Structure 1
Amino acid sequence: MGANASACLQSYPESSSSSSIKSKPRLEDIPENCIALVLTHLTPPEICKLAQLNRAFRAAASSDFIWDSKLPSNYRYILEKLSNNKDLSCLGKKGLYGNLCHHNPFDGGTREIWVDKKTGGVCLLISSRALTITGIDDRRYWTHLPTEESRFQTIAYLQQTWWLEVVGDIDFQLPSGCYSLFFRLQLGRASKRLGRRVCNLDHIHGWNIKPVQFHLTTSDGQHVTSKCFLNNPGNWMHYHVGDFLVVESHQSMRIKFSLTQIDCTHTKGGVCIDSVLICPVSLGKELRVLL
């Protein structure tokens, strides 16, 4: 009898263990629609990481309704702007999001647009060639320099002037939210020597006498004015012009901006103008910290 009881005890845990292993839930057992619902609450990089777990997560992470919530509200408008460059409309929503996260040129390559891969915020970059610069055609004062330090492969370099005025504008449909605008400038002329970056600071002058003035206006009546001294020679700096608010997501807004130093009591020179950046305030805060 004792032997029989012992045999039962030995066999029971075995069968019980086998049963529990079979019934133990696994990640693959979670319904795909439940996985997709959870993924909607994550950031795009987090979704892509979880897609590597298994086939179920990978399939759920490719669902269009997940990426519908991540795409900016104006993505169809963006596609129209890019229609002359590439056809992205045939891609799934995930592929569309991934392509929009790249820097996409438009307006003849003088402007770029992209979506921040983590937040989905829309960013714009405007080349110096798309700006109206007083005296830009006079080679005694201004020069267009080829460089690898600009996304547009060229910058405007000021040798010397009495009257500095740089004006630009853009008419664009941005998603609702708060945005920052920056001028990307550098004091000094950079080049490469024996494979190393060197910056010529010899022609920098006049910027410590009077500050540069920045202006920003929008078609709905917003107006911002700021001023600062240019500093940190030899390094590219993002100078914050101001912030503006977009209320209507599906309406175009005309944004005008300028950089001036028009005090003719002294000359100034030795500055490079690369581009103008427009981005959500949350991303702009990181640039201001760097200053």
Structure 2
Amino acid sequence: MGLRFSSQPSESAPKSGLGELPESCVAEIMTYMNPPEICKLATLNRAFRGASSADFVWESKLPSNYSVLLRRIFADFPSHLGKRGIYARLCRLNSLDDGTKKVWLDRSMGKLCLCVSAKGLSITGIDDRRYWNHIPTEESRFNSVAYLQQIWWFEVDGDVEFPFPAGKYSVFYRIHLGRASKRFGRRVCNTEHVHGWDVKPVRFQLWTSDGQYVTSQCFLNGPGKWAFYHAGDFVVENGNASTKVKFSMTQIDCTHTKGGLCLDSVLIYPSEFRKVKAFLNSS
């Protein structure tokens, strides 16, 4: 007797896919992802799209004091927006103090950033056009920078009072040696007036309302490109209360003049950005 095989096909096991995962499970997984990853997964299917809109997913990405931030940044914030909408609104460049400050969340990390324009700073001699001028440019998020032609006493001060989320922050001055412009559609830089910055270093100082103080100094170099000069770090313990930060950049050795400098702004970033944002290490 020979072996006999059944001619009837065996039943195959039912196939399961990503679409079979419950939304609640997908949403729980998304709390461990960063916002760009969540947005990419939301395009896979209906379950992932629904999970990506869950409030608890986006609340895990928001700063712990986001309700305090909403009251500080917006005069009348829409109450119907979910946590995803709140996150998206905070990621915009939100203006404060007549447009001299901008605050936003970094889209990929959900960390708060703040920027103060040159017009929001106290600059010695800014009203005398023999020394300083505000010039329009596309290279600033404020569409203008302060340009120094020449001066003996260089001093730029500023302060910010804001409910920063708890954490460590770094303060940077965004500086450009030389005056950039466009000629026949190409970027050119005039360094004719750049002088004095290699004679003596500039001094940075930083104070906070809870007694922190930092000072440092460095020479300015590298004409023709924007550089971020690190002024110091500070730590915020309580994000529900406002922290006042004062900062200063000076070169007040009157034995020589200095000039040819563009001042764009002062930026306050989470200190961890120095490890992941290459442009912050450009000075």
The counterpart of 1:221, out of the listed 178, 203, 211, is 211
Q: Quick check: 96-105 or 157-166, which moved more?
A: 96-105
Conserved? CA contact 2:169–2:233, under 8 Å: yes
Conserved? CA contact 1:89–1:96, under 8 Å: no
The CA deviation at 1:10 is 1.8
Conserved? CA contact 2:176–2:263, under 8 Å: yes
The CA deviation at 1:88 is 4.6
Distance 1:159 1:32, change over 3 A: same
Distance 1:254 1:204, change over 3 A: same
After superposition, where does 1:1-291 map in structure 2 within 5 Å?
6=5, 9-13=6-10, 16-17=11-12, 20-21=13-14, 24-84=15-75, 87-285=77-275, 286=277, 287-291=279-283
1:220-274 CA-partner distances (Å, limit 9, x unpaired): 1110101011100011100001111111121110000010001111111110110
Distance 1:226 1:159, change over 3 A: same
Q: Which runs of 5+ in 2 are unaligned?
A: none
Q: What CA distance in whole angstroms lies between the structure 2 residues aligned with 1:27 and 1:83?
A: 39
Conserved? CA contact 2:159–2:247, under 8 Å: yes
1:28-62 CA-partner distances (Å, limit 9, x unpaired): 22111111111111111111111111100110110
Q: What CA distance in whole angstroms lies between the structure 1 residues aligned with 2:159 and 2:62?
A: 25
Q: What CA distance in whole angstroms lies between the structure 2 residues aligned with 1:137 and 1:157?
A: 12
Indicate the structure with greater helix content: 1
Q: What's the TM-score once normalised by structure 2's chain length?
A: 0.95
SS at match of 2:7: helix
Conserved? CA contact 2:228–2:281, under 8 Å: no
Greater CA radius of gyration, 1 or 2? Answer: 1
Number of residues of Structure 1 aligned to a counterpart in Structure 2: 281
Q: What CA distance in whole angstroms lies between the structure 1 residues aligned with 2:274 and 2:99?
A: 23
Aligned residue identity for 1:10: S
Identity of aligned residues (%): 56
Conserved? CA contact 1:67–1:93, under 8 Å: yes
Aligned residue identity for 1:173: P
SS at match of 2:193: coil
Q: Which runs of 5+ in 1 are unaligned?
A: none
